[in-house]
Amino acid sequence: MNRNRVAIALATATLVTPGLALAADYHHVHITSASPAQGVAWYTEHMGCEPLTDRSDAADCYGVEVVFVPQPTQGGSQGTGVDHIGFSFQDVTAKMAELEGVGVRGSGVRLQRNADGSTLRDVPGLFKLGIIFDPWGTRIELVEDPDTLGFHHVHLMASDPAATLAWYRDVMGGEPGSLKGQLDGLRFDGIWFLVSAHPEGAPGTTRERAIDHVGFVVDDIDQAAATFREQGVTFEQEPAVPEGGRTAAKRAFLAGPDNVRVAVVETGFAGADVDLGAAILTTEALGQYDAPRTPWGEPDFQGIWTNSSAAGIPFERDEAADTEELTAEEAVARHEGRLLGGIWGYEREWRDTTLGYGRQGVSTQLAMVIDPPNGRLPARTARQATRAVTAGDERAPREASTPGGPEDLSTWVRCITRGLIPTPGGYNNGLQIVQGPGYVAITREMVHETRIVPTSPEPAIGSDIRSYLGDSHGRWEGDTLVVESTNFNGGTGFQGSSENMTLVERYTRVGPGMLEYQFTVDDPTVWTQPWTAMFRWDLDDTQYELVEYACHEGNYGMTNILSGARSRDAEAAK
């Protein structure tokens, strides 16, 4: 079996393992990424791979086909039976500096630092090395080994390293060797398999982790299976063409040592098609829906809802858009791209918006603005026309000078409010609704605000009182809850709105697990006409819960911000 080619399969929206093999016989690396398009893009940009011209779910990484497949994930690779993979670069110092310059925001390149703050260490007699993580929790070791550039190694963790190497040698045909005379391992067509003792004995399973399994390719899988059985190898899955397989080539899964899944594929295997449409949020099949009633006869909206499915929807429509909605592939890529851009490199298990976690899907909606029909905000008034407004305007513009005190900082930084309109972000997208006769209580997870909205006619009181969230009154129009809010104090806004805004929100339960949310902004101080936006919420009260919102962990945030400002003032005064 020394003609086998190694393939690494990473499962769980994690890493693309760029190649194990150097020859054309080598088949593929399987990496789990919520969006195949985002996986291809990340490894193309940062690991030097090239997109395949005939497939959108794979990249050529140094002669190895790397395939990205969405599936649920339970965490990163570190500490499992496949702790990390390695890539070798001619100048690892320059490569690490490049990645450090990119940072975690947007691209999701996270670097592991040593105790002294450095990102590289020099192992005498071996090489320089540094550790990074991809956005999905895959641990990647970058090394400087001119003898083996490109995909360099797979690093296993084991309770008995010698026994583990013996298994891969005897079952998979690895060639024993010593990496620069320092580390014993196996070679598979130029790719090293290295093993370390797990500090706690048995490592964690690779199943549904960043690196889900490692794989090997054989010419005849049925013949190879007979040999495996003679060796007493346990099959997790018998040889078969996988569902959605692009060719007639078969694949099998073996139970490797140390909780590692091992895939064996047949020559000609080209992966399997995945139906991303299953992740798409749609109301097409819902038809007419009558909302359930509370004991007192009002439409029942109670429960915990999340708008994570709307993450990634642009607020305004791109003027160059030439379609009315995205394809499933485009929608999933946009959703994952928004997540990577806003979560600062957190691993996948920390994210509300993880594809495959919870019940939410993703939306093909082109933009939140639905009126005007072009999906663009209307013209601004002459008074406001020269003011620059961005999607983050509600946070308050960053001051040119350093803050003199808390009052100079935005309501976001001061942990006061994130405003009235709960647009989705990378996390904390929960909304809990509780009802009583004549009242609806709406709790937003982000900054833990609860609005008590009366739905019965009440005399106007407190008309001169203004607040961050304004004065809200509700009414029922059929199955739709309509909430009108006025009397804002101008301390927070949305898209540049002023204290003169009238906000009308419309909540409609359009399906058993779907709540449509429309809001209309009428602010003649800022815009020449009212405008309306929309997105949807998903019911998830069996799994999702609203937990305490710790805005500034330990309440150090404000102290550190202001002490930093004073330090900058002192530096500027020198």
User: Is residue 286 one of the residues assigned to a domain?
Assistant: no
Does 175 lie in the same domain as 30? Answer: yes
Facing residues of 216 across strands? Answer: 6, 264
Q: Give the pLDDT confidence score for residue 328 in this predicted structure.
A: 83
Does 514 lie in the same domain as 394? Answer: yes
Detail the DSSP E strand segments found in 137-255: 139-143, 150-158, 175-179, 183-188, 191-197, 213-218, 235-240, 251-255
Does 392 lie in the same domain as 251? Answer: no
Considering 233, 266, 299, which residue would you say is the last residue of a domain? Answer: 266
Does 393 lie in the same domain as 258? Answer: no
Query: How many DSSP H helices and E strands does the chain contain?
Result: 6, 30
Residue type, 42: W
Considering 247, 266, 285, which residue would you say is the last residue of a domain? Answer: 266
Does 387 lie in the same domain as 238? Answer: no
User: Is residue 332 one of the residues assigned to a domain?
Assistant: no
First to last CA, the chain: 72
Q: Smallest Cα–Cα separation from 491: which of 425, 386, 400, 416?
A: 416
Strands across the sheet containing 64-68: 50-51, 58-61, 64-68, 28-31, 5-9, 213-218, 261-266, 251-255, 235-240
Does 143 lie in the same domain as 23? Answer: yes
CATH number of domain containing 168: 3.10.180.10
| Residue 27 backbone zone (phi > 0: left; psi -120 to 50: alpha; other: beta) | alpha
Residue type, 511: G
CATH number of domain containing 515: 2.40.128
Does 388 lie in the same domain as 240? Answer: no
- Domain that includes residue 514, residue range: 371-539
Instruction: Please tell me the pTM assigned to this model.
Output: 0.77
Q: Which tokens in the block code for residue 306?
A: 């999340």
User: Is residue 454 one of the residues assigned to a domain?
Assistant: yes
Kind of pairing between the strands at 303-306 and 531-539:
antiparallel
User: Is residue 309 one of the residues assigned to a domain?
Assistant: no
Distance separating alpha carbons of residues 202 and 81, to the nearest angstrom: 8
User: Is residue 312 one of the residues assigned to a domain?
Assistant: no
540-556 burial: b if 16+ Cβ within 10 Å, else e: beeebeeeeeebeeeee
User: Is residue 558 one of the residues assigned to a domain?
Assistant: no
Q: Give the pLDDT confidence score for residue 195 in this predicted structure.
A: 95
Distance separating alpha carbons of residues 565 and 135, to the nearest angstrom: 32
User: Is residue 349 one of the residues assigned to a domain?
Assistant: no
Q: Smallest Cα–Cα separation from 32: which of 52, 47, 19, 13?
A: 13
Does 74 lie in the same domain as 222? Answer: yes
Residue stretches of the chain with pLDDT short of 50:
1-5, 10-26, 355-358, 388-400
User: Is residue 292 one of the residues assigned to a domain?
Assistant: no
Q: Give the pLDDT confidence score for residue 205 in this predicted structure.
A: 93
Considering 266, 290, 305, which residue would you say is the last residue of a domain? Answer: 266
Neighbours of 150 (CB within 10 A): 20
Distance separating alpha carbons of residues 228 and 345, to the nearest angstrom: 41
The answer to whether the beta carbons of residues 14 and 108 sit under 8 Å apart is: no
Tally of domains in the chain? 2
